[in-house]
Amino acid sequence: MVFTVKSPIPGFAHITTMELVKIDDFFMRLESKDDATSFTLLNPYMLREYAFEIPPYYKSLLEITDESKIMVFNIMIIANPIENSSVNFIAPLVFNAESMTMAQILLDSDKHPDLGISQSIGSFLQEEEA
């Protein structure tokens, strides 16, 4: 699925169109249609409890309604072993599959103290095993 970037991803303002490619239920790949940039994304709901309110500005920008099909993913930095990989939970990518628009939302860390910019996947896997 190809999406129009409605709010630039910090550091990648030149990217205006991206393709979301499913790897499996856990991972996606986000590929720029403007250059060779790509990101590995994680479905946060497969790893932890994850909830936030989409700010009104982004709802308007992405044309989100109560009926919209919304997808949320987080950018991850892959390491070896995978448990050492880190995820940016404080800045989710939100996709509206109906308007084919997307944006990265920078959440307020004061309102979401449990969400970090670089949290280890391993810490969540250890919680599940306990």
> Consecutive sets of 10 residues in the chain, 130 residues long: mean pLDDT of each?
94 95 93 96 92 95 95 93 89 96 94 85 65
Give alpha helix (H) positions in 1-130. 56-61, 121-129
pLDDT of residue 126: 61
> How do 17-22 and 27-32 pair as beta strands?
antiparallel
pLDDT of residue 50: 92
pLDDT of residue 130: 47
Contact 101/64 with Cβ under 8 angstroms? no
Domain ranges (residues) in the chain: 2-129
Which CATH number does 2-129 carry? 2.30.290.10
The residue written with tokens 């994850």 in the block is: 50
Q: What is the pTM of this model?
A: 0.90
For residue 69, give Cα distances in angstroms to 13, 15, 64, 66, 81: 25, 23, 8, 9, 34
pLDDT of residue 116: 80
